[in-house]
Structures are given as C-alpha cells and as structure tokens.
Structure 1
C-alpha cells in the first residue's frame, strides 16, 4: 500500500514538473502563439480544381500561391522567398512589424542646409523600423509618396507628383523626386502596408475562391449553384460543370444542378459574405490610422524652391504623343526616375509627350471624326464611355439597370464616330447573363475593320476584379489577350491598341480590399504587355497617385484628364 502511494506520488511530481515546464514555455512564446492564433483564424485549407485538372491546397501556413507573378515584382519576391526558406519569420507579433510611429523619412541633405531651384532633384531616404524602434533588415513595405505644391494660404495648390520609391531590400528606401514648380513644396510619406501585412494579403488570396465573394450561376431549369475560377470537389462522382476554355486563359466552374446536367448558364450573380472577407480596417495589421495608411515621422517636411525656366524648356522639347512609346515601366525612365508626369494647377502634364488639356474635350467630335473606338474593361473604363456619351451627345440607351457591364454602343452620325463598350469576362463583380460579360478575347475576335484598320482604336484594361484569387488566373487571362492582340495587329496593322493602367484608390471594399492589389496587378499588366510591340500605355496609376480624390471610380475631372491623354494620341496639339 505504502509502495503504491509512493509510486503514485512520484508520478504526480513528474507530471507537475512537465506541466510547469510547458506553462513556462507557453508564457515565453506567448506573443508568437497569439500571433499564430490570430493568423490561423483567418485562413482556410481548401482543395480547388484548376484547368489542368490537378488539385491544390490553398491558404496553408506559408502558402503564397503560384509564384510566376514574382518576376514582375522582384522586391516582394525576395521577401516571400526568404519566408519560405525560413530566413524571415512570418507571421510575427504586430509590434515587430513596420511601425509608422518609429519609421521616418529624411531629406538628404536637410532642406535647412540646401537651396533648391526648379530642375533640381530631391533625394530622401525612408528608414523602416518596427514597434520596438528597431531598424528593419528587409524590405517590401508599401509606401505612398507625394510631392505637393503649397499655396500662400498654406493649402495644396494643385501642383503634385508621385515619385518613384526604390526598395533596397534592407529596410531602407530611396525617393528621387524632381522639383518642377516654384514656391513652397511639401514631401508626404504614408505607410500603407507593412511587408508583413502584404504577406498576409497574398496568403489570404492565394486560392481560387476569393474571400468574401460567392458567385452563382443559374441554369435553364432555375437552379442557382456556386461558381468560380476554381471549386472544391464535393462529390467525386459529380464534379463541377467545367465551362473553362484553357487555350483562351479562361477557367470557370459551377456546381451541377439537381438534374446533374451541365447545360448553359442563363445568369451569373454574386453575393458578399462579410464574415469571410479580409476585413481591412479592423484586424491588427490593418487598423486605420494605426497600422494602415498612416503618415510616418518626417512626412510633411516643407521647403522653398526658386524659379528657373527649366520646366518650360523641358516641355518645349516634348515629342508628339505616339502610341509606340511603350508599356514598359522603363519607357518613363528619366533622370527623375520612373515617373510619367505631374499635375500643374490641377492639370496633368505628361513627361512622355505633348498632351492636350481637358478644355479641348469640346472638340472631341472633330478629333474623333471617322473613328471607331472600342472601350473594353471594367466599370472604370465604362466611365470613359459615359464621358463620351455626354460629350458626343449619344442617344440615350435603355437597358437593364442591374447590368452595369452590359455592352453599350453609341454613334454620332454627323461626325461618323462610333464608340463601343464591352465589359470583361468572369470573374466580374456584376450580375447578368453571360452575354453581358463577354471575354476580351471573344470581343477582339469580332473586330474586323476594313483594310489595314486605320481609324480603329482599342482601349483595354482589367485588374480590379482579379484581386481576390491567385494571380495565375490574371496572368493566364492577360497572356491570352496579348496573343489575341498580336493576331489582330498582324491582320490589321494600323489598328491602335492602348492599355490603360490601373487606378490608385484609398477606399476599401470586400471585392477590392486594398489598393496594394491594384499596384501588384498593374505591375503584372505592364510586364506582360511590355513584350508586345506597337502597343501604347496610359499611366493612370501615376495620375491617380499624384492627385486626389482617391476613389476606385475616379471623379469626373480625373476621368476627363485620362481621356484627354488618350485623345492626345489621336489629335495634334490644338
């Protein structure tokens, strides 16, 4: 009896020691466990079907999806690679991420020791630090930098530009900004996302079913079933209906209806599920004015710039606008860095060519005479069509108001101007029948102008609706579109094709949680089309980065600036 009690006592003591050790270990690593728990709450492991017929598990602990996009964004590619190799820990506690409280920007040399004049180049360095005031040793933070003119009243006067920010990959960033107006000038630097937050965004969207958005397709018998670019296999005997066209870069699946037959869809809709969304603005890495979209120390530095005739001379020697200027980011590169223009008194001034002012939009009827314009893209390009409908006074169209992406066609007989608008194919965050969302390659295949195609202009853009799924979906789609554009230009070499860039925006929605996705996709867009000659580019990212308001759907004056730049490629300077 005594021996048994003694043996039990020893086991009890041993058990107590093990528990105590475990408790100490938990307390010691609490901050990492807490971070991990927060992280695990936000992810789901979900097998998906892709066009090759293979299956993937998405949103794993260190799963950042496919990596073929990384060559277009080498700074982030290096950061993700280091995480995957175990050289950098992620996720980490919020205090260990880049902190706007301790990160700072310094102008080199300090303005108080320098006299600036128009034509000089301002240089500044951003030093990233974490919440413990310790310097970061890796890059990939996302900053928004602007140089703005300040009037006598102390308010912005309409002069602005957004300079290049060079990431050195070691926690420091260089700003190179041309000084192109006289008077007071202010440098502003805002931390939009820490590198750790960017890794979280990539991880959260590394699958084929975007968080917070559920598409559904309605079959002819009235059954409405979930659809997407990839779906979980729930029943091996009855896999999802496959509406994909892999050779055209299109993947689209829908669960089978009750009768198990994969008939054509009559309607594609969607609904938002907030509890499954990324929820920026509430999570620790995405708290407004704390860890998300916050000015860093040193932002707001103001200095004077004296007048010279540098800008007048520079603009005097600008070439006419030519669509062959190219899509590559390097096409904009000068001694000022990769910057395509600036706002002066609220008007966009291109550094690429002599662009016309928006006041000449009243002459659009004459400029576009005998022209056919195809506008193909999302709702931000639909704004172009609506602008032309107003300027050219098209006859009002009647249609289903629920279907914003429906094709639209306008004509002004007096000037022989025809304008077509088409949305792009799924994924598209708009309800309607499949015919309301034709795939871009299908739209391009219907364009058969006479002769060499002279007088035909095509403007393309798609990006925003691809934010929530793995970037391979976007790359496949763009690759197919590039091939289609190349074939069109072979058939009709005088057709002018122009890619419109992406839009910088501050607002966040379930479908487009962060502007960083637009930034990432714009790099991919430019990279893919840079390989195609004879295609032009309108750098709306630089335009919308430099000047507010920052909305997903730019204001009417901003849209007028974008279209005026497009008109500059068609009409000579008035």
Structure 2
C-alpha cells in the first residue's frame, strides 16, 4: 500500500540514500551491448522503500562526443527498478538517473489531475454589433445560468461559455486562457514538490564506463525509415549532436537540393501545437523558396500557409481545437478539431498529415486527452480507407522545463499522455516520431527545443515522407 505524502516527508523517496548497482559489471563493453543498473530506493530515514511509482528519468551521455540516449526503466513495484541502457557509441560513457518526483509526489499529482478542470480558465469574446462582450468559458461550467454549448455530436467533444445577455451564441469570436489561482494539492504536497523542483541526481559509485568497438558486433540497420517500421525504446541516440534512429537508416537532408528533392510535389498538413509549428518554421528558414501567404496576418499562431509554386510544395500549419493554453488570444471562427480537419483531407501518396498534441492537455483530466486521440485515430482510419497511400505521422510530446508549475504542466502529466498516445496508434499504419525520447537524449528540458534539435526531428519527418521517393531536384 503506497502511503500519501501526508505520512511525512521523511518517509518519501530520497535520491541521496538510494543506491545504484551495475548488474553486468565488466572492465569494458562492446558497442551495442547493454548496461544493466539496479536501483534500490530508500526514504530519508534510510529505510528501504517497499513500493514503487517514483518518476525517474535515465540517460547516458558523453559530453566530448555530444552524445546521449535515454534508458528504459522497469518498476518492480517493490522499491527496486531495473534501468537498461543500450550502449550505442564508443568511448567513455556516463549514466544519469534523476529522481524527478518521489512516488508520494506522483500519487498527489495524479490525484490532483483527476479532480477537475478548474486550474485553467477561459475568457470568451462575443461581438454585439460594434461592441465587445466577454464571458467565462470552459469544459465544465456548473453555474445555474444559460450556456452556449459548442458540441461536436459525432465525437462528443463539447465546450461551453456563459451566454452573454442579448447576444447570440453565434457571436462567439475569440478566446483567451489564463491560470486560475487554484490548486488541488495540499500545502504539504506543494512543499514536497518544491523540494524536487529540478529533479535530484541519484548518486553513483561506478563513474564512467568504457565502451569499445568489438569484432562482429552490429548496431545499425540498413532498413529505410518508412511508414510502418516499428520504433523501439530507446528509439535512437544522439552522436555528434545529430539524431540516429536505432531501427532504421535515416538519410541526412542537409542541403537545399536534398530538401527540395524530397518536398517537390508534396502537400503537408501540420495539425497540432506550437512544437509542430516549430517544424514549419524550421523548414521555411532552410527552404528560402517557400513563401508564406500572409492570409492570416493577425492569427499567425492559429494558421500558417507556405508555398513554393515552382516545385508545387504546399505546407500548412494549423492549431488543434480546445483546449489551447497560452498568453495570446485566438479566433474561434476557423476553429475545428483535428479529427474534423483530417476528414476534410482528400489525400494521396504525395500528401502527408503530421499530428501532435499533448502540452495543452496537461492541466486537465487525462480522459479529455484520451477521448481526443481516440477520435483522431478513428479519423485516421477513415482517411487510410479512402486513401491507403496517404502518409500519417504522429509526433510525441517534448519534455519541458522542470521549473514550470508541476500540477499544471509537469512532465509527469506529459509522460502519461505519451504512453497513452503510443497505445492508441500502435496497430495503425502510421509513423511515430518519439519526440519524448529524442528530447530526453538531447537533455533539452525546453518545451520549444533549440533549432538544431528541432531540425533533427524534421529530418526524421523528411525521411518518412520521402522513403522510396524518386523525385529529381530542380
């Protein structure tokens, strides 16, 4: 039975007193072998933990080689964990295992997430002739007042606003989110989370390990990065600051000619959040012949469109539907859910849809996220039935800053969504770009990673859409 944090800070998991042990210790390891590390967790009184549930992050790295990779963690639910690192490169390799939240903090955050939608508020703007009227909006308005209901009956996606007096519900024009001064955590729980604000390193006695090339060992594959190729965990590694998938041979799109060859004749839809909009911005910076059509001058966060008429390239980036959380307001007149946007795509083998959502769902009960991705899955199934050559790519969430409000936006919320996303799309003929794994490997800790990290995600995307492509550069 896992006690909650109210049983006392001293009974919570301590990184300082926890122990790491290499189970397969050797003087040196071959590239491609595994390093197996056992974790035994203890509390602040030095007593061994008898239950699991800690939120951990494991990574190996070599600073001089600009190399990194995530490790997979198995929780035995008795205070013991097994961390499995794949040794992808040659050299001196160090391991990092962070305790981000003790199990008691995880339990508190999970319980708080389930308690409701009140952490984020929305202000809706309605136009009454030439004057503006604002009102409260959200997913779960319980006041005894007349409501404007914006319902997608097929997918059972609903959003509400308190109806302004003498203004029709159709006059709803824009929306702005804000953080409400609400927490579902107790004072003691909040205090515990502050102690783990940036994660705490679990001490290691073994230091760096030596990895060498061994005769006959094979770590890379010649298989192309194509739709339908399964992605393992870890899905790859960083070396010399470049991403190398472990399950396919990713070509490099480093020159303008290579990118243009890939994109020629393509129609691409980015549907999701700002981490996907970063992909479009990265592409338009490198491909100077892609020009933005400034048809949404005041709504750049909502929709972007860029074209290269000579090469017949068309790229659109559009935000996903409610909830969209941020410092800027946005119009709802062109609002639609991703599932509906997918239904409006005709599609062929030169058309690609990329979907990414998660960051904006973190402050809300996870049922909202799961319902949304299940609806998107159904839309993808319909799309692939009418256009089986269509290319669909799912981008996972990035890890983000540890200093954010953990109850609203912490990575523990994102990790649960990342696991759910993989399960929902597991058996469909789509590609999955594990941005969680990539950003852990790079140790970015930024919701919007630096440009070179974003480009490695884009390079993976180009590999998928141009697998077996025979286009000629112009």
Q: So what's the TM-score if we normalise by structure 2?
A: 0.90
Cα gap change, 1:187 to 1:279, in 2 (>3 Å): farther
What count of residue pairs does the alignment treat as equivalent?
Answer: 462
SS at match of 1:429: coil
Cα gap change, 1:462 to 1:204, in 2 (>3 Å): same
Q: Please give the per-residue CA displacement for 1:98-143, whole angstroms capped at 9, x wherever unaligned.
A: 11121122212445xx332323211101111111111111111111
Instruction: Pick one of 11, 22, 35 that aligns with 1:122.
Output: 35
Aligned counterparts of 1:269 and 1:456: Cα–Cα separation in 2: 33
Aligned-pair distance for 1:361? 5.8
Aligned counterparts of 1:550 and 1:280: Cα–Cα separation in 2: 27
Aligned counterparts of 2:266 and 2:237: Cα–Cα separation in 1: 29
Instruction: Tell whether 2:451 aligns with 1:553.
Output: no
Cα gap change, 1:96 to 1:445, in 2 (>3 Å): same
Instruction: Pick one of 370, 378, 403 that aligns with 2:273.
Output: 378
Cα gap change, 1:300 to 1:395, in 2 (>3 Å): farther
Aligned counterparts of 1:300 and 1:284: Cα–Cα separation in 2: 32
Alignment of 1:157-168 (within 5 A): 157-168=65-76
Tell me, yes or no, if the aligned pair for 1:148 and 1:185 is still in contact at 8 Å.
Answer: yes
Cα gap change, 1:300 to 1:392, in 2 (>3 Å): farther
Aligned counterparts of 1:399 and 1:195: Cα–Cα separation in 2: 49
Cα gap change, 1:109 to 1:324, in 2 (>3 Å): closer
Aligned counterparts of 1:416 and 1:130: Cα–Cα separation in 2: 61
Structure 1 equivalent of residue 390 of structure 2: 495
Cα gap change, 1:246 to 1:166, in 2 (>3 Å): farther
Instruction: Pick one of 378, 381, 391 that aligns with 1:483.
Output: 378
RMSD: 2.6
More strand per residue: 1 or 2? 2
Instruction: Tell whether 2:57 aligns with 1:144.
Output: yes
Instruction: Tell whether 2:227 aligns with 1:323.
Output: yes
Structure 2 equivalent of residue 269 of structure 1: 176
Tell me, yes or no, if the aligned pair for 2:95 and 2:208 is still in contact at 8 Å.
Answer: yes
Cα gap change, 1:89 to 1:544, in 2 (>3 Å): closer
Structure 2 equivalent of residue 198 of structure 1: 106
Cα gap change, 1:346 to 1:297, in 2 (>3 Å): same
Aligned-pair distance for 1:324? 0.8
Instruction: Pick one of 319, 331, 347 that aligns with 1:423.
Output: 319
SS at match of 2:464: coil
Instruction: Pick one of 211, 223, 245 that aligns with 1:305.
Output: 211
Q: Please give the per-residue CA displacement for 1:498-517, whole angstroms capped at 9, x wherever unaligned.
A: 10111112344359531121
Cα gap change, 1:454 to 1:292, in 2 (>3 Å): closer
Q: Please give the per-residue CA displacement for 1:131-174, whole angstroms capped at 9, x wherever unaligned.
A: 111111111111111111253xxxxx212110101111111110
Instruction: Tell whether 2:333 aligns with 1:435.
Output: yes
- Structure with higher Rg: it is 1
Instruction: Tell whether 2:191 aligns with 1:284.
Output: yes
Cα gap change, 1:207 to 1:258, in 2 (>3 Å): farther
Structure 2 equivalent of residue 247 of structure 1: 154
Structure 2 equivalent of residue 405 of structure 1: 301
Alignment of 1:462-541 (within 5 A): 462-510=357-405, 512-531=408-427, 533-541=428-436
SS at match of 1:102: strand
Aligned-pair distance for 1:519? 1.1
Aligned-pair distance for 1:408? 1.2
Aligned-pair distance for 1:402? 6.4
SS at match of 2:414: helix
Aligned-pair distance for 1:362? 5.2
Tell me, yes or no, if the aligned pair for 1:321 and 1:354 is still in contact at 8 Å.
Answer: yes
Instruction: Pick one of 219, 232, 241 that aligns with 1:314.
Output: 219
Q: Please give the per-residue CA displacement for 1:218-269, whole angstroms capped at 9, x wherever unaligned.
A: 22333211111212x221xx34322122422412111121238534411111
Instruction: Tell whether 2:345 aligns with 1:447.
Output: yes
Cα gap change, 1:552 to 1:277, in 2 (>3 Å): farther
Aligned counterparts of 1:556 and 1:465: Cα–Cα separation in 2: 21
Q: So what's the TM-score if we normalise by structure 1?
A: 0.75
Aligned-pair distance for 1:536? 1.2
SS at match of 2:352: strand
Aligned counterparts of 2:216 and 2:63: Cα–Cα separation in 1: 20
Structure 1 equivalent of residue 472 of structure 2: none
Cα gap change, 1:403 to 1:193, in 2 (>3 Å): farther
Instruction: Show structure 2 runs of 5+ residues with no match.
Output: 470-474
More helix per residue: 1 or 2? 1
Tell me, yes or no, if the aligned pair for 1:464 and 1:512 is still in contact at 8 Å.
Answer: no
SS at match of 2:283: helix
Q: Please give the per-residue CA displacement for 1:401-434, whole angstroms capped at 9, x wherever unaligned.
A: 7645321111111211111111100100141111
Structure 1 equivalent of residue 291 of structure 2: 395
Instruction: Show structure 1 runs of 5+ residues with no match.
Output: 1-81, 152-156, 333-337
